[in-house]
Amino acid sequence: MNKPVNKTSAWKKLTSYYRWHKNDEMKDLFAKDKDRASKYTLNLENLYFDYSKNRIDEKSMRYLLDLAKEVNLKEKIEAMFSGEKINITENRAVLHVALRNRQNTPIYVDNKDVMPEINEVLAKVKKFTDAVRFGEFKGATGKKLTNIVNIGIGGSDLGPYMATTALKEYWAKDMNCYFISNIDGSACEDVLSSVDPETTLFVVVSKTFTTIETLTNARTCRKWLIDALGEHAVAKHFIAVSTNATEVSKFGINTDNMFGFWNFVGGRYSMWSAVGISIALMVGMENFEKMLEGANAMDLHFRNTEFEKNIPVIMALLGIWYNNFFGFKEYGVIPYDQDLRFLPKYLQQLDMESNGKSVDIDNKFIKYSTGPIIFGGAGTDVQHSFFQLLHQGTNIVPLDFIVPAISHNEIGEHHEILVANALAQGEAMMRGKTVEEAAEELAKSGKNADEVKALKRYKSFPGNRPTNTIVVKKVDPYTLGMLVAMYEHKVFVQGIIWNIDSFDQMGVELGKQMALSILPELQGNAYNKHDSSTSNLISLIKKIRK
Ligand code: F6P
């Protein structure tokens, strides 16, 4: 049994250090130490992580690093990389890192090296995606398949969706891709009304192949295809990615066109496997492999670098500092890159499904805060929506700014304006503006004394709001791989510190079960016992639908 983290000596030191230093101002820390920026900037190749605009100093960082050591983080990292069954509730290894193990060193699960099978599936993905892209694997009427429709939900959707969007610049020029995840019929309708059955390839992605949304959507698409081209077309227009060959063939998909993966890969960690086949179809296997290489570079950095210089470890420790000591329960990710706009959505599942837990791995209810609420969106858009609260609201939200130095679309001064905004937001969050400064500015702008008095507080900014700035050269496949792996490992480290199993997702089950009991009531005359609100709502909706 692990010692509860809030009873460790590092935690106690952090608690007391926080008490004395919680009001320290970052702007004073910058003024005191001219080397602060370089002292608190790390890099891995072309990825730079500037964490100097955080409410930290040498001592708090030391205690946080002590905490990492006290929870035996090093051994836990080794346990993951070497295939130990660290997903204890499901008795599974956690080996998304094996999917991008470009060194191809053996990794054993139950005495079996997993690498040969991983390589085999990658080779199959390459063969198939090349065949589609070069027009050798054609649709039932002999036309090239140029519309890729990914049908999946959660981890079987968000990774491919985020990554294909992020890598739009690398798409084959004659191809397009679409995503159907939601069970809402409009999701199917939107896509099916935009594509031509003769040129459409449906990629049904479901680890379990039992997820009601995915299977219902897949059946609707199958019917649409059969109505247009006949039953024989299914084999040419449907492929599946799943661990469940029996259900795949029951659905009518030829298992030759099924791409497997393994239960040591969780849904939200799966885009590196055949689950990423839509990515490979759109950007080509060479680019998909570059994404794996980028992730692998981050894996090696994470596994082999001392904690002081380890980007995911430092990121995770900062998150612990804010969440568990300052009480900041939200976390924002703001990519200043249009193509990364879905990254926050992806990270929402990665982080919240992994660390939204309240029982620890020793089967005890937890008495400290765990996973934060993750949200975000692309800058500068979000500056004009929720940034008001981030600057002047009463909740303090630590932020990550992701800033590519070079854009794929260097049009006029667009990119410089974008970057200027990203950097300005970090500076503004840190410095703020005192009431006196606001008053002075108002007076300078010609306001009289009464007007200055009336407005100065509204125009002030508390500042001292923490941000990390992650600068990358350009959003290319390799960099995307690095970025995503960096967040995966951050989530892992936090899970270790909180002593939770970051790799199950039992919290999604209850709602699914209840939906199954409500469905027959909506569809017929069945009655199940509910609270009066739910029963009334069922009757009301049935009445309206009549
Ligand atoms: O809703 C939870 C979840 O199990 C996710 O973890 C997973 O990514 C998603 O559903 C889809 O599951 P499947 O790939 O089995 O269809």
* Amino acid present at 15: T
From the list 39, 223, 364, 512, the catalytic residue is: 512
Give yes or no: 306 in active site: no
* Atom of ligand 1 at shortest range from CA of 505: 6
Q: Number of folded domains in the chain?
A: 4
pLDDT of residue 255: 86
Q: Is 270 in the pocket of ligand 1 (CB under 6 A)?
A: no
Give Cα 298 distance to the centre of its chain: 16
Ligand 1 centroid distance, CA of 154 (Å): 5
pLDDT band at 371 (very low <50, low <70, confident <90, very high): very high
Instruction: Please indicate whether residue 391 is annotated as part of the active site.
Output: no
| CATH number of domain containing 518 | 1.10.1390
Q: Can you tell me the mean pLDDT for 62-77?
A: 98
pTM, to two decimals? 0.97
332 lines ligand 1 (CB under 6 A): no
Kindly report, residue by residue over 414-448, the tens digit of the pLDDT.
999 999 999 999 999 999 999 999 999 999 999 99
Residue 426: which CATH number?
Answer: 3.40.50.10490
Ligand 1 centre distance from Cα of residue 48 (Å): 33
Task: Report how far residue 46's alpha carbon sits from residue 517's, in angstroms, rounded to the nearest whole number.
Answer: 52
- Asked if residue 246 and residue 127 are part of one domain, the reply reads yes
Residue 208: CB within 6 Å of ligand 1? yes
Instruction: Name the pairing type of β-strands 41-44 and 47-50.
Output: antiparallel
Q: Ligand 1: does its nearest atom lie under 6 Å from the Cβ of 211?
A: yes
Give the C-alpha separation, 353 to 241, whole Å. Answer: 21
Say how many Å lie between the CA of residue 256 and the centre of ligand 1: 23
**Residue of 353, 489, 490, 521 marked active site:** 353
The residue behind tokens 């003024």 is 31
- Please check whether residues 479 and 438 belong to one and the same domain: no
Question: Model confidence over 299-319: pLDDT tens digits?
Answer: 999 999 999 999 999 999 999
Whether 390 has a pLDDT exceeding 90, the answer reads yes
The yes-or-no verdict on residue 2 having pLDDT over 80 is: no
In which band, very low, low, confident or very high, does the pLDDT at 3 lie, cut at 50, 70 and 90?
confident
The residue among 255, 288, 321 that closes a domain is 288
What is the residue-averaged pLDDT of the chain?
97
Residues 491 and 523 in one domain: no
Catalytic annotation on 353?
yes
Kindly give the distance from the C-alpha atom of residue 92 to the centroid of ligand 1, in angstroms, as a whole number.
16
| 61 assigned to some structural domain | yes
- Shared domain for 437 and 341, answered yes or no, is no
Residue 153 Cβ < 6 Å to ligand 1: yes
Nearest atom within ligand 1 for CA of residue 353: 6
Provide the residue range defining the domain that includes 519: 509-545
Out of 34, 384, 529, 543, the active site residue is: 384
- Count the helix, strand and coil residues of the chain and give each as a percent rounded to the nearest 5: 55, 10, 35
pLDDT of 1 over the 80 cut: no
Q: Same domain, yes or no, for 271 and 345?
A: no
Q: Is residue 293 part of a domain?
A: no
SS (H, E, C) 409-457: CCCCCHHHHHHHHHHHHHHHHHHCECHHHHHHHHHHCCCCHHHHHHHCC
Distances (CA, A) of 354 to 268, 501, 537: 9, 8, 32
| Pocket perturbation via mutation, ligand 1, pick of 87, 208, 216 by most ligand atoms within 8 A of CB | 208
Residue 129 beta carbon below 6 angstroms from any ligand 1 atom:
no
- Amino acid 243: pLDDT: 87
206 CB near ligand 1 (under 6 Å): yes
